[in-house]
Amino acid sequence: MFWAENWIGTGSLELRFRRLYNLSCQKREPVKNMGYWENGVWRWSFRWRRRLQGREVGWFEELTGVLRAAQLVENKQDSWVWELEGGGSYSVNSSYVFLQGQNLGETNPVFSWIWTAPAPSNIKAFAWRVMLGRIQTRDNLLKRQVIHTAAEALCPLCGRVEESCSHLLFTCPAALLIWYDVYAWLGVSTAQIPVGEVHLLQFASIGSNKSQKLGEVAIWLTVVWSLWCVRNRIVFSGVSYLKTKFWSRFSLNRGSG
């Protein structure tokens, strides 16, 4: 649709040139009906409810300037093109680089550890979103106005602090108990770091060689994924026995205050 759809890559022309759209007699026409081919050259042909005047003439000149960027090809079907690759074909790498806001040559060791760890792809993808702060914790939902009150944004595990990615996975008392047990199982004593990227790098450093480090990363992925799954089962399924397990363990360590 010429006016309604973002076919030229600058947003819909309907929104950008609202006054011209209101005057158009071709509001619901596709691009192919907005002109004609003449000796292999595309000619635009507009029909208006009345003669353009004043500022409308300037807006029309701006519209024709925008349309010069459209390279229409005769007798060829439309097709989707991925603009982040020179060949026009989609690639995971280019979308990853785009989301990271990095240049193609730049790498981050955290993501390298995540993608090469021996773990299912859905868990790796989850950890990737953790590093970007894009999991749907309640602080993000509050910002997007999916929920509306501070009480709704409290952590479902401890019920005391606003749920954020950092709190839920690293500093919540319930999560801390899990991490303390994991570190004790590995024979390590260390301070807890609330930043996901640094936390993972610290955890990977427990291993003495690359193979062991990948194993540590796999353990780290298992812990954060398990905490997220427990959280979701409490929130969405009301699985009370899981919550009781966390709280019975938590109450033994937090004192009576």
Q: Which domain holds residue 121?
A: 109-254
End residue of a domain, out of 79, 97, 130: 79
Judge contact between 111 and 128, C-beta under 8 A: yes
Helix (H) or strand (E) holding 38: strand 35-38
Q: Examine the pLDDT at 257 and tell me if it is beyond 60.
A: no
Contacts of residue 48, defined as CB under 8 A and 6 or more positions apart, other chains included, come to 23, 24, 25
Residue 29: the pLDDT is 94
Residues 74 and 113 grouped into a single domain: no
Task: Give me the pLDDT at residue 73, please.
Answer: 85
Per-residue pLDDT reduced to its tens digit, 15-58:
889 999 999 999 999 999 999 999 888 999 999 999 999 889 98
Quickly state the pLDDT bin for 10 (edges 50, 70, 90): low
CA separation (Å) from 185 to 182, 222, 247? 5, 14, 21
Residue 87 lies in a domain: no
Q: Are residues 229 and 116 in the same domain?
A: yes
Would 213 be classed as within a structural domain? yes
Distances (CA, A) of 62 to 56, 86, 230: 10, 28, 55
Domain membership of residue 131 (yes or no) is: yes
Beta carbons of 13 and 2 less than 8 angstroms apart: yes
The amino acid at residue 103 is N
Residue 12, domain member (yes or no): yes
The confidence score (pLDDT) of residue 256 equals 39
Token pair for 136: 């749907």
Query: What's residue 249's pLDDT?
Result: 52
In the structure, what pLDDT confidence band is assigned to residue 248 with cuts at 50, 70 and 90? low
**Are 115 and 13 contained in the same domain?**
no
* 54-91 pLDDT per residue, tens: 889 989 998 988 888 777 888 888 777 787 777 778 88
Structural domains in the chain (count) = 2
In a domain? residue 90 = no
Vertex 176: Cα angle to 170 and 181 (nearest 5): 125
Residue for token pair 């770091």: 193
For the entire predicted model, the pTM comes to 0.55
Of the three residues 38, 61, 79, the one that is the final residue of a domain is 79
Q: Which of 79, 97, 118 is the last residue of a domain?
A: 79
75 and 130 in a single domain? The answer is no
Q: Would residue 179 count as lying in a domain? A: yes
141 and 243 fall within a common domain: yes
Do both 55 and 10 map to the same domain? yes
